[in-house]
Structure 1
């Protein structure tokens, strides 16, 4: 991706969205937004409990720490070992894919993608803390640790798109021109991920809103 293409992407997708469990924002604001592996490190989760959380999670799991409070690690219902085995490339096994996903914190690039998540399955009946992040600010601060993907990496069911070691690419290596020929604005990048997470997420957030489905229930935080 050239600098001009990156500028175009930021103009088309000026806001990134992260969907967290309801009540998560105070802890995320204080301690940062982390991928699963880094969050388990932070909360000092070890042994069998950690191994279970780093494998496929059929349900969301709450973890607790005496000093840090609580956090919720999302389920991975839209994937299974069987479906992943059918679409993984480069000699990867399902366990490898879970490890790759666990190493990142993920953002959607459009509100339409966010709403799909909010309305998916059991999520539709739940409230969520949605963090809206300034794309330009995040990219400026964490560019070297950002990767982009052209697919929903956490979804793998029947006829799932192939995925492998080249699914997540750094900004400079991402084939933006190819996807520009094939997709409309807003769909040329599907996911933006940061490894292992964003410690200063509050510095890049525009606002945080409690949502259920498409309804905005309340504004939790707004940059002054």
Structure 2
């Protein structure tokens, strides 16, 4: 995929999070993956979370700060087990997901995610694609909603396959810009430059800094 074409056609990336996490993101100008946050606690008892499906949001404490790890309810472990490649286990793929920061490349995809969590009054951040990718060259792209395992009638009732090749750098992503479903960053995503926040996709985004 032509990265410059992606930047031109998708000028903004969106991240949805809890109000508590938003405070820490603004303060540190960094978004950390679930695995990175767990490592920062220094609590070995939380290691199991990296390879387990979260059926509810889970709070963890790092120093004086509380962080919320979002639930993974859209994942059916039974369905996931039927569509994995590379001889991966369900735990392997869950670890792979928890190792990433996720962004949505379109308002349409943001709306789908927002509708599920609207009652929780989440915060939405909007970033300049160009500036975010400049600051985070380890970006990888995915052509499906990796955290959902809906059955596909064209695949005999199974979800689309997923595994080590689900997230690819632009040079290896052999699909059109319109087929990018998720933009992801391993471990963390550094915020360099101004960004904006809103409480809804259809409301005005206000500049944070």
The answer to whether the superposition gives a TM-score over 0.5 is yes
Residue 192 of structure 1 corresponds to which residue in structure 2?
Answer: 183
Residue 32 of structure 2 corresponds to which residue in structure 1?
Answer: 34
**How many Å separate the matches in 2 of 1:82 and 1:205?**
42
Spell out the pairing of 1:93-108 with structure 2 (5 A cutoff).
Answer: 93-108=89-104
**How many Å separate the matches in 1 of 2:101 and 2:83?**
22
Residue 148 of structure 1 corresponds to which residue in structure 2?
Answer: 141
Give, in angstroms, the shift of residue 205 of structure 1: 4.7
**How many Å separate the matches in 2 of 1:66 and 1:96?**
29
Preserved contact between residue 23 and residue 129 of structure 1 (Cα < 8 Å): no
**How many Å separate the matches in 1 of 2:95 and 2:50?**
10
Preserved contact between residue 22 and residue 210 of structure 1 (Cα < 8 Å): no
Give, in angstroms, the shift of residue 24 of structure 1: 2.2
Root mean square deviation of aligned Cα: 1.9
**How many Å separate the matches in 2 of 1:125 and 1:215?**
16
Q: Secondary structure of 2:6's partner?
A: helix
Give, in angstroms, the shift of residue 30 of structure 1: 2.2
Give, in angstroms, the shift of residue 54 of structure 1: 4.0
**How many Å separate the matches in 1 of 2:21 and 2:66?**
8
Residue 81 of structure 2 corresponds to which residue in structure 1?
Answer: 85
Q: Which runs of 5+ in 2 are unaligned?
A: 152-157
Residue 165 of structure 1 corresponds to which residue in structure 2?
Answer: 164
Residue 127 of structure 1 corresponds to which residue in structure 2?
Answer: 121
Select the residue among 61, 64, 81 that pairs with 1:64.
61
**How many Å separate the matches in 1 of 2:194 and 2:74?**
28
**How many Å separate the matches in 2 of 1:192 and 1:215?**
21
Residue 154 of structure 2 corresponds to which residue in structure 1?
Answer: none
**How many Å separate the matches in 2 of 1:10 and 1:188?**
14
